[in-house]
Protein backbone atom coordinates (compact mmCIF):
# COMPACT_ATOMS: atom_id res chain seq x y z
CA UNK A 1 0.00 0.00 0.00
CA UNK A 2 1.24 3.48 -0.85
CA UNK A 3 0.05 6.26 1.42
CA UNK A 4 -0.35 9.99 1.04
CA UNK A 5 2.60 12.10 2.12
CA UNK A 6 2.45 12.72 5.91
CA UNK A 7 2.14 16.47 5.31
CA UNK A 8 -0.99 15.93 3.19
CA UNK A 9 -2.40 13.58 5.81
CA UNK A 10 -1.82 16.18 8.51
CA UNK A 11 -3.45 18.95 6.47
CA UNK A 12 -6.42 16.69 5.65
CA UNK A 13 -7.16 16.06 9.32
CA UNK A 14 -6.52 19.69 10.33
CA UNK A 15 -9.06 20.75 7.69
CA UNK A 16 -11.52 18.20 9.09
CA UNK A 17 -10.96 19.62 12.58
CA UNK A 18 -11.38 23.20 11.27
CA UNK A 19 -14.66 22.26 9.56
CA UNK A 20 -15.91 20.57 12.73
CA UNK A 21 -15.03 23.60 14.88
CA UNK A 22 -16.67 25.95 12.36
CA UNK A 23 -19.83 23.85 12.43
CA UNK A 24 -19.97 23.61 16.23
CA UNK A 25 -19.50 27.37 16.56
CA UNK A 26 -21.81 28.32 13.69
CA UNK A 27 -24.19 31.21 14.00
CA UNK A 28 -24.04 34.90 13.21
CA UNK A 29 -20.78 36.16 14.75
CA UNK A 30 -22.04 39.75 14.60
CA UNK A 31 -24.90 39.04 17.01
CA UNK A 32 -22.79 38.29 20.09
CA UNK A 33 -24.59 39.34 23.25
CA UNK A 34 -21.77 38.63 25.68
CA UNK A 35 -18.06 37.78 25.83
CA UNK A 36 -18.64 34.03 25.43
CA UNK A 37 -20.78 34.50 22.30
CA UNK A 38 -18.14 36.89 20.95
CA UNK A 39 -15.48 34.22 21.51
CA UNK A 40 -17.66 31.62 19.78
CA UNK A 41 -18.19 33.94 16.80
CA UNK A 42 -14.49 34.71 16.51
CA UNK A 43 -13.69 31.00 16.75
CA UNK A 44 -16.13 30.28 13.92
CA UNK A 45 -14.53 32.89 11.65
CA UNK A 46 -11.00 31.77 12.60
CA UNK A 47 -11.87 28.14 11.81
CA UNK A 48 -13.20 29.16 8.38
CA UNK A 49 -10.07 31.21 7.73
CA UNK A 50 -7.91 28.26 8.78
CA UNK A 51 -9.73 25.96 6.35
CA UNK A 52 -9.06 28.36 3.45
CA UNK A 53 -5.37 28.71 4.32
CA UNK A 54 -4.93 24.95 4.67
CA UNK A 55 -6.73 24.21 1.40
CA UNK A 56 -4.69 26.82 -0.47
CA UNK A 57 -1.58 25.17 1.00
CA UNK A 58 -2.79 21.65 0.28
CA UNK A 59 -3.65 22.14 -3.41
CA UNK A 60 -0.12 22.94 -4.64
CA UNK A 61 1.40 20.41 -2.23
CA UNK A 62 -0.90 17.73 -3.64
CA UNK A 63 0.34 18.56 -7.14
CA UNK A 64 3.96 18.49 -6.00
CA UNK A 65 3.80 15.45 -3.70
CA UNK A 66 1.28 13.46 -5.73
CA UNK A 67 -1.21 10.89 -4.53
CA UNK A 68 -1.23 7.13 -4.28
CA UNK A 69 -2.96 5.22 -7.04
CA UNK A 70 -6.66 4.62 -6.53
CA UNK A 71 -7.73 1.14 -5.59
CA UNK A 72 -9.44 -0.76 -8.41
CA UNK A 73 -13.16 0.04 -8.50
CA UNK A 74 -16.02 0.29 -10.99
CA UNK A 75 -15.85 3.33 -13.25
CA UNK A 76 -19.02 4.85 -11.76
CA UNK A 77 -17.40 4.76 -8.30
CA UNK A 78 -14.20 6.33 -9.60
CA UNK A 79 -16.20 9.12 -11.28
CA UNK A 80 -18.31 9.64 -8.14
CA UNK A 81 -15.17 9.84 -6.00
CA UNK A 82 -13.53 12.34 -8.36
CA UNK A 83 -16.69 14.47 -8.50
CA UNK A 84 -17.04 14.38 -4.72
CA UNK A 85 -13.42 15.47 -4.24
CA UNK A 86 -13.80 18.35 -6.69
CA UNK A 87 -17.01 19.43 -4.92
CA UNK A 88 -15.35 19.14 -1.49
CA UNK A 89 -12.41 21.30 -2.55
CA UNK A 90 -14.75 23.83 -4.16
CA UNK A 91 -16.92 24.04 -1.06
CA UNK A 92 -13.90 24.33 1.25
CA UNK A 93 -13.15 27.57 -0.60
CA UNK A 94 -16.68 28.72 -1.39
CA UNK A 95 -18.19 28.33 2.10
CA UNK A 96 -15.63 30.59 3.81
CA UNK A 97 -15.87 33.08 0.92
CA UNK A 98 -19.64 33.15 1.38
CA UNK A 99 -19.12 33.66 5.12
CA UNK A 100 -16.77 36.57 4.42
CA UNK A 101 -19.40 38.12 2.14
CA UNK A 102 -22.07 37.69 4.82
CA UNK A 103 -19.77 39.17 7.47
CA UNK A 104 -18.92 42.10 5.20
CA UNK A 105 -22.60 42.82 4.78
CA UNK A 106 -23.40 42.65 8.50
CA UNK A 107 -20.40 44.44 10.00
CA UNK A 108 -18.29 47.49 9.24
CA UNK A 109 -15.35 45.85 11.01
CA UNK A 110 -14.62 42.52 12.66
CA UNK A 111 -11.61 41.25 14.59
CA UNK A 112 -10.56 37.68 15.16
CA UNK A 113 -8.57 37.42 18.37
CA UNK A 114 -7.35 41.00 17.96
CA UNK A 115 -6.59 40.82 14.22
CA UNK A 116 -8.83 43.02 12.06
CA UNK A 117 -10.28 41.25 9.05
CA UNK A 118 -10.40 43.11 5.74
CA UNK A 119 -14.09 43.47 4.90
CA UNK A 120 -15.87 44.92 1.90
CA UNK A 121 -17.31 48.35 2.60
CA UNK A 122 -19.89 47.95 -0.17
CA UNK A 123 -21.09 44.44 -0.96
CA UNK A 124 -22.21 43.97 -4.58
CA UNK A 125 -25.55 42.16 -5.06
CA UNK A 126 -23.95 38.94 -6.34
CA UNK A 127 -21.69 38.71 -3.28
CA UNK A 128 -24.63 39.60 -1.05
CA UNK A 129 -26.52 36.63 -2.48
CA UNK A 130 -23.47 34.43 -1.96
CA UNK A 131 -23.35 35.59 1.67
CA UNK A 132 -27.00 34.67 2.10
CA UNK A 133 -26.15 31.16 0.88
CA UNK A 134 -23.41 30.63 3.49
CA UNK A 135 -25.52 28.44 5.84
CA UNK A 136 -26.95 26.39 2.97
CA UNK A 137 -23.50 25.86 1.41
CA UNK A 138 -22.06 24.96 4.81
CA UNK A 139 -24.75 22.33 5.37
CA UNK A 140 -24.26 20.95 1.85
CA UNK A 141 -20.54 20.69 2.55
CA UNK A 142 -21.16 18.81 5.80
CA UNK A 143 -23.47 16.33 4.07
CA UNK A 144 -20.92 15.75 1.33
CA UNK A 145 -18.12 15.36 3.89
CA UNK A 146 -20.28 12.84 5.73
CA UNK A 147 -20.83 10.87 2.53
CA UNK A 148 -17.07 11.06 1.90
CA UNK A 149 -16.37 9.63 5.37
CA UNK A 150 -19.05 6.94 4.96
CA UNK A 151 -17.55 5.91 1.61
CA UNK A 152 -14.09 5.61 3.20
CA UNK A 153 -15.55 3.44 5.99
CA UNK A 154 -17.44 1.35 3.42
CA UNK A 155 -14.22 0.75 1.52
CA UNK A 156 -12.45 -0.21 4.74
CA UNK A 157 -15.04 -2.53 6.26
CA UNK A 158 -17.03 -3.82 3.26
CA UNK A 159 -14.54 -3.76 0.39
CA UNK A 160 -11.57 -4.40 2.72
CA UNK A 161 -9.27 -2.28 0.57
CA UNK A 162 -6.66 0.34 1.49
CA UNK A 163 -8.65 3.48 0.63
CA UNK A 164 -9.03 4.59 4.26
CA UNK A 165 -5.54 3.48 5.29
CA UNK A 166 -3.95 5.79 2.69
CA UNK A 167 -5.18 8.84 4.65
CA UNK A 168 -5.29 7.41 8.18
CA UNK A 169 -2.84 9.11 10.55
CA UNK A 170 -2.67 6.04 12.81
CA UNK A 171 -1.27 3.73 10.11
CA UNK A 172 2.49 3.45 9.76
Q: What is the pLDDT of residues 80-136, one digit of tens each?
A: 999 999 999 999 999 999 999 999 999 999 999 999 999 999 999 999 999 999 999
Q: How far apart are CA 3 and CA 6, in angstroms?
A: 8
pLDDT interval class at 172 (50, 70, 90): confident
DSSP 8-state secondary structure symbol assigned to residue 31:
G
Domains of the chain: 6-159 (1.20.950)
Q: How many CB atoms lie within 10 A of CB 88?
A: 17
Residues whose CB falls within 8 Å of the CB of residue 39, separated by 6 or more in sequence, listed in order = none
- Which ranges in the chain belong to alpha helices (H)? 6-24, 35-65, 75-106, 125-132, 134-154
Instruction: Tell me, yes or no, if the pTM score tops 0.85.
Output: yes
Short-list 72, 70, 22, 16, CA closest to 43:
22
Q: What is the mean pLDDT of residues 17-23?
A: 97
pLDDT interval class at 70 (50, 70, 90): confident
Q: How far apart are CA 118 and CA 135, in angstroms?
A: 21
Q: If DSSP codes are grouped into helix, strand and coil, which group holds residue 115? A: strand
pLDDT interval class at 170 (50, 70, 90): confident
Amino acid sequence: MVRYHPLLIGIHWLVALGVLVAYITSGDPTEAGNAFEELVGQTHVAAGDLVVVLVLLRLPLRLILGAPAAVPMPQWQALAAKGAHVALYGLMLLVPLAGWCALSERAADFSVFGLALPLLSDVPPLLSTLGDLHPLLGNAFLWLAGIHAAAALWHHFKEKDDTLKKMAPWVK
